[in-house]
Structure 1
Amino acid sequence: MNAYRDPKRYSWLLSLLVPASLVVGPAVYLWRHQAWGLWVPVAVTYILIPLLDMLIGEDRSNPPEDAVASLEADRYYRYITYALVAAMWPCIIFCAWFVATQHLPWHACLAVVISTGMMGGFCINVGHELGHKRTVLEQTLAKLVLAPTGYGHFYVEHNRGHHRHVATPDDPASARMGESIYAFALRELPGAWRRAWALERQRLGGAPWHWKNEVLQPLTLTILLWTALGAWLGAGILLFMLAMSLWANFLLTSANYIEHYGLLRQIAPNGKPEPCQPHHSWNSNHVVTNWMLFHLQRHSDHHAHASRRYQSLRNFDEVPRLPNGYFGMFLLAYVPPLFFAVMNPRLLEAVGRDSARINFQPGKRERLSERYGIEDRDHTFS
């Protein structure tokens, strides 16, 4: 029997183009002094990539299970994520230097804030992949790559909070049916911080102000980086770092919003939510964005098997499915009426119009049930 050869093996190298592409705008500006060029990375991300996802379509293929062990043991895939950690710190520092030293109109500054924030969001995605792994090196690199955008608490909150409470009303990182992304952000962003801090307080026996606190470790790196940039480039650069970090963090919020929108785990006889299954997450197999985001869009398998590495994440046929890749879905989410028009019918189809499987926004259950004809049924959990 021939050994399995991953057909996507070399396509993952395309992820290395992400930080490179986001410094193209500043590089072109330094060469030609054309401010419009700073918007090119933004247009590529929010226009070209959703179009390519739509045109190229989906890849639903899976590696054979008997090849997964060797596939996950292949260090080639890890080296790509390691290289990205090494690349993104200098890229963010370069963008900070660029803003501080060039006389840019306001719209050009805005473009660099958004594009650098997108790089910061990519940092969080790489930190997500690394943070789920059990090696000390990968966990350390996860904290390192989360630090530039001040989102180091994600390492604690996501792994020990979100994965435990996902698709329940108790999870600030699971969106509810009828909840706009803006209402979700106001709940999720502070909720994630509070949960991370509470988890570390509990782990450290009620004394969180300790060097072992895994919220404070990356936060210390954030403070050191921002202080060094302020000393080098002037205190005004801190406004840029804050703005781009807010956009990076909002991109993570955008991903959280679409990944579990409206889905609800049922309560088992023991009073606890049922185990997380693939159908408790929205999935997408759109090729281009999956290449960029290390199969983050195969979210169903990720939540069911959190330690599984990106190269071996699987597609499942009978799971809720998004109509586009993440960046196209982000644009849709930013216009709530359009998002609801597209996603609410898909949600109802995914759950069989069963209200017991829907995570409703408080105060909207009755109105949504009446509008969409959602059924209340008697359930026996099995």
Structure 2
Amino acid sequence: MTDTTGVPEPAWRDPKRYLWLLGLIIPAFPFIAWGLVAATGLGLFWWTGIVVLYVVFPVIDHFIGKDADNPPESALAWLEQDRYYRWCTYAYLPVQYAGLVLGCWLLTRGDLGAADRIGLTITLGGVAGIGINTAHELGHKKESTERWLSKVALAQTVYGHFFIEHNRGHHVRVATPEDPASARLGESFWRFLPRTVYGSLRSAWGLERARMRRLGKSPWSPRNDVLNAWAMSLALFGALVAAFGIEVLPYLLGQAVFGFCLLEVINYTEHYGLLRGRTASGRYERCAPRHSWNSNNVASNVFLYHLQRHSDHHANPTRRYQALRHFDEAPELPTGYAGMIVLAYFPPLWRRVMDHRVRAHYDGDLNRANVQPAKRARYGVTA
């Protein structure tokens, strides 16, 4: 049997096919929190987002375990063209924005206490932060509709420049000292955070300014993808302030900050300490699976559209999430992203868990690693 594109349907079936719909649980957090508070009267459920992301998901990852199975080569073309998987990501956006509107209504009309408002703001930020992952999946694709939807998903966090920097900056410089989104061995998350936020913004603007120059246009042109992405955020926030009053603005800003910080702690995890070598010509070698930390934890992979198969993603950036594969050469995280981001907030714990894994990946030679310059002597790096 073949579809309309002429791609034959394989005998193999994706065991996760309908599990991908579970990703819609995350944008439904505000509705779940509201329902639980209404049913129990307990305001602690406004904190549903942080509890699920930082407690429930790591536990589920631990108990469900890992799955390193790959789809057969004969099934990849079919998986890539099956539009069902695209709709799984498209569906995130209407639920995301319905939850945002509900959250704004509750924050301004719901008679919530201060602690409840903070909890709900963080829950909204968790949805927005994982929404950046949805934008990441969409933004790598060639279809203009998906690329436009990527900007829509990013509007809630005012992080539209990620669309530019990730695709044209990070993927070019990944696992090098020049990449603001690649964490260095010995660099804490709290040091990495301002470096990556500022560096990524600066890089995105520079990339678009150069593109506008090539087109013979001012960088302040509406065709500048950084500016038009930020314009979406301005329009969104303006509409919500008009609908719910200026008092909603601090909460919108708070959830945006939490959302993009959630993205950056995941960025911190993905390439910590890894470095691409240089070829005889002095150029960096092509990015390979060994330059990204991988995780096959089933639960986090389902909720994050296989983001944790990051090694294959960097080796094949346009490959759709359902077709991403495990590689034995890729360094493996001890658990899924949900657990790793909790560790990242506590630098001594992070170093205890991760530094020896970086050392082992390079067979004890940390001269081959991406080391924080100020920590070179501590790690015995001489190069």
Bin the TM-score by the shorter chain: over 0.9
Q: Is residue 340 from structure 1 mapped to residue 340 from structure 2 by the alignment?
A: no
Q: 2:186 aligns with which of 155, 178, 200?
A: 178
Structure 2 CA distance, aligned partners of 1:179 and 1:125?
A: 24
CA 172–13 in structure 1, closer or farther in 2 if over 3 Å, else same? same
Q: 1:359 aligns with which of 366, 370, 378?
A: 370
1:151-182 deviations in Å (ceiling 9; x for gaps): 11100000000000000000000000110001
Equivalent residue number for residue 380 of structure 1 = none
Structure 1 CA distance, aligned partners of 2:58 and 2:25?
A: 17
Equivalent residue number for residue 52 of structure 2 = 44
Equivalent residue number for residue 141 of structure 1 = 149
Is the Cα–Cα contact under 8 Å of residues 162 and 204 in structure 2 kept in the other structure? yes
Q: 1:68 aligns with which of 62, 76, 88?
A: 76
Q: Is residue 219 from structure 1 mapped to residue 230 from structure 2 by the alignment?
A: yes
Q: Secondary structure of the residue that 2:28 maps to in structure 1?
A: helix
Shift of 1:268: 1.5
5+ residue gaps, structure 2: 1-8
Where does 1:34-183 land on structure 2 (aligned, <5 Å)? 34-183=42-191
Shift of 1:109: 1.6
Structure 2 CA distance, aligned partners of 1:342 and 1:175?
A: 15
Structure 1 CA distance, aligned partners of 2:39 and 2:145?
A: 39
Q: Secondary structure of the residue that 1:366 maps to in structure 2?
A: coil
Equivalent residue number for residue 246 of structure 1 = 257
Q: Is residue 265 from structure 1 mapped to residue 276 from structure 2 by the alignment?
A: yes
Q: CA RMSD, aligned part only?
A: 1.5
Shift of 1:31: 5.2
Is the Cα–Cα contact under 8 Å of residues 10 and 78 in structure 2 kept in the other structure? no
1:8-29 deviations in Å (ceiling 9; x for gaps): 1111111112212342112333
Deviates more, 1:182-191 or 1:86-95: 86-95
Structure 2 CA distance, aligned partners of 1:314 and 1:331?
A: 26
Equivalent residue number for residue 22 of structure 2 = 14
Q: Partner letter of residue 146 of structure 2?
A: E
Deviates more, 1:54-63 or 1:35-44: 35-44
1:262-297 deviations in Å (ceiling 9; x for gaps): 001112122211100100000000010000000000
Structure 2 CA distance, aligned partners of 1:211 and 1:43?
A: 40
Q: Partner letter of residue 278 of structure 1?
A: P
Equivalent residue number for residue 192 of structure 1 = 200
Is the Cα–Cα contact under 8 Å of residues 156 and 215 in structure 1 kept in the other structure? yes
Q: Secondary structure of the residue that 2:14 maps to in structure 1?
A: coil
Q: 2:239 aligns with which of 204, 223, 228?
A: 228
5+ residue gaps, structure 1: 378-382
TM norm structure 2: 0.94
Shift of 1:30: 4.4
Shift of 1:32: 4.8
Structure 1 CA distance, aligned partners of 2:179 and 2:233?
A: 26
Q: 2:297 aligns with which of 286, 300, 311?
A: 286
Q: 2:34 aligns with which of 11, 23, 26?
A: 26
TM norm structure 1: 0.94
Which segments of structure 1 move beyond 3 Å, counting only runs of 4 or more? 30-33
Shift of 1:318: 2.2
Structure 1 CA distance, aligned partners of 2:81 and 2:30?
A: 31
Is the Cα–Cα contact under 8 Å of residues 264 and 356 in structure 1 kept in the other structure? no
Q: Secondary structure of the residue that 1:133 maps to in structure 2?
A: coil
Is the Cα–Cα contact under 8 Å of residues 343 and 349 in structure 2 kept in the other structure? yes
Q: Partner letter of residue 87 of structure 1?
A: V
Shift of 1:248: 0.4
Deviates more, 1:15-24 or 1:245-254: 15-24
Q: Is residue 307 from structure 1 mapped to residue 315 from structure 2 by the alignment?
A: no
Q: Secondary structure of the residue that 1:311 maps to in structure 2?
A: helix
Shift of 1:96: 1.6
Structure 2 CA distance, aligned partners of 1:324 and 1:215?
A: 35
Q: 1:329 aligns with which of 340, 359, 362?
A: 340
1:108-136 deviations in Å (ceiling 9; x for gaps): 12211211111001110000000000001
Equivalent residue number for residue 3 of structure 2 = none
Is the Cα–Cα contact under 8 Å of residues 176 and 262 in structure 1 kept in the other structure? yes
Shift of 1:78: 0.5
Equivalent residue number for residue 5 of structure 2 = none
Is the Cα–Cα contact under 8 Å of residues 181 and 268 in structure 2 kept in the other structure? yes
Aligned-pair identity in percent equals: 45
Q: Secondary structure of the residue that 2:333 maps to in structure 1?
A: coil
Is the Cα–Cα contact under 8 Å of residues 157 and 256 in structure 2 kept in the other structure? yes
